Chain A
Amino acid sequence: MSNSRFDIETIERYLFDQMSESEKVEFQFQLLQDKELQIEVKKMRQIQKTLIAEKKMEKGSLSFFKWKWFIPLILILATGVYFASQSLFQPSQSPLKEEELTVPDESDKVSQQTEAPEEKLDGQENQAPPNIEDTPTETLKPAKQAAPPIAAADPKAFNPNPYLEEFIEGVRNPELRLEIDSPGADLTFPLISGEADINILGKIYGNPPPTLQLSIFDNREASYEAYQPLLIRSMPLNKEQEYFAFRFSEKRQMKAGLYYYIIETEEEEEILHIGKFFVR
């Protein structure tokens, strides 16, 4: 016998998105009023997701079983294609290979040096499409080599992310007020010898949890939508007289571009602030 006072099939219909619009409205109103119903819906949603995941895992293992015989064949074919392309293109391409691998943007350098790309900071060009090779970890990693000259910066790296722009300075939390001291008014961290000294610091008023979380994203919409920050750091709060201070300070190798940062509470993941800065 169930301990619950809620009809399991009603919750199922809600979770399966099978209710009419007016039923959804009434159900969501009930949900707002009733903590127990909130708990029931959360439980049922976890069960729903678990059951879907279990089925997918079953399917995944079956399809792997079916396909595993093709894997050696695919590997052999791929190896053949690789060697064929090596022998066909060796004379003209091979001198560039190593350079391309270590500095992905290098190939654009010559053509962009004459274009004064920084004038395009607010350009309306489309976002660069997600590039698998240009992963976030490659963009922000400990210094190993000198950065390309600023003139070689990719102008697309300065395109605003329309989604995040909409929420810059737009967060309202009546209980936790946040003030940013750095980045300053020009929102810029200078790029010196390929490194930028990133300092994000500020104050928070109210009764915050002990630790905040900082996430930094590049400007690509895809990075945010797939939630792939360049870095995530905990920021412990230090109690001052009337507020709590937070600070992130790190010297990193970075590319010139526009970056966004999100400050949220670490446990509840409640966003407190979205800001941006330039590296150039």
Chain B
Amino acid sequence: MKSEAAFHPDEDFEQFLGALTNNGARQWNWLIAKFRQKLIPFLNKRIHSYPQWALLSKSQFIEEVIEETLLQFFKIFKTGSFSSYSDLEATVITTAGFQLKAGFGRLKKEQRIYFMEAEALSALQEKHGQSIRESASGLAENIADIKNKLNQLESEEKDLLLRFYNGEELKDIADDLAISPSACRKRKQRILEKLRDLVIKTISLLILSSL
């Protein structure tokens, strides 16, 4: 990355830290790039056998763990005190270890919840009642909503989304539907936006409540 050469944080760590505290975009981009260089091999080394039944590919899973790690690091950064760059790096590596563990736990949970039928998910959600903070029922509620909405789509629309999200090229799908790729793309966007707007407020509530 072109900004990489511009920073030697240990030469003037206080200044670097100050820029990070003020959300300096160049400093943060540099730091995230550095962290990613460390985290990707670190995580790959620790994931010896990635389950075949997982919903995401291994690289997508690693990206999800990195994302969670950076979000957690960002929280720690706001309250913690650091005296050197290696302090920052040690914190992010430790955080990644925990997020990887949480990621493995999430895989298990997801295997149960995403493969349940919408009715069973709704029942699970009802069983847990009002407690939206309970992660399994919160997730079940969202997935039940997505599944219900998916089932309300025209079968052609649902098929389009399923094919695209399972790796088929938009051009091939467009050919099968006898429409142009750009029309296919627009159709996919429109359906997705409907779905996305539908995903209820649980995530928002959970994230906002953590603020």
A→B interface (CB under 8 Å): 1-4, 8-9, 14-17, 21-22, 24-26, 28-29, 31-33, 35, 38-58, 163, 166-167, 170-172, 174-175, 221-222, 224-227, 262, 267-271
Contacts and interface: CB of A to CB of B under 8 A. Distances in A.
B98 interface: yes
A39 B115 contact: no
25 contacts: A2-B197, A8-B192, A22-B1, A24-B63, A25-B33, A25-B36, A28-B67, A31-B70, A32-B71, A38-B71, A43-B196, A47-B199, A49-B110, A50-B147, A51-B165, A52-B165, A53-B55, A53-B115, A54-B147, A55-B166, A167-B97, A167-B98, A227-B107, A269-B105, A269-B135
A171 B98 contact: yes
A28 B74 CA distance: 11
B203 A43 contact: yes
Interface stretch (B10-18, B46-54, B174-182): B46-54
Contact of A47 (B51, B76, B196): B196
A166 B133 CA distance: 31
B207 A42 contact: yes
Interface of B: 1, 23, 25, 28-29, 32-33, 36, 46-49, 51, 55-57, 59-60, 63-64, 66-67, 70-71, 74, 76, 79-80, 91, 94, 97-98, 101-102, 104-105, 107-108, 110, 114-115, 133-135, 139, 142-143, 146-147, 150, 161-162, 165-166, 189, 192-193, 195-197, 199, 203-204, 207-208, 211
Nearest to B167: A16
Rank and list the top 9 A-B pairs by shortest CB-CB distance, nearest first: A51-B165, A53-B114, A2-B193, A43-B199, A55-B166, A227-B104, A50-B146, A49-B55, A271-B98
B36 A24 contact: yes
The interface residues of chain A, by DSSP majority, are classed as helix
Contacts of A269: 102, 105, 135
Contact of B48 (A4, A14, A53, A221): A221
A227 B208 CA distance: 29
Given A28-B66, A167-B94, A267-B134, A35 B48 contact: no
A222 B143 CA distance: 29
A85 B73 CA distance: 58
Contacts of A1: 193
Contact of B64 (A4, A45, A52, A55): A45
A151 B152 CA distance: 64
B147 A15 contact: no
Contacts of B46: 163
A31 B165 contact: no
B166 A51 contact: yes
A158 to B, nearest CB: 21
A13 to B, nearest CB: 12
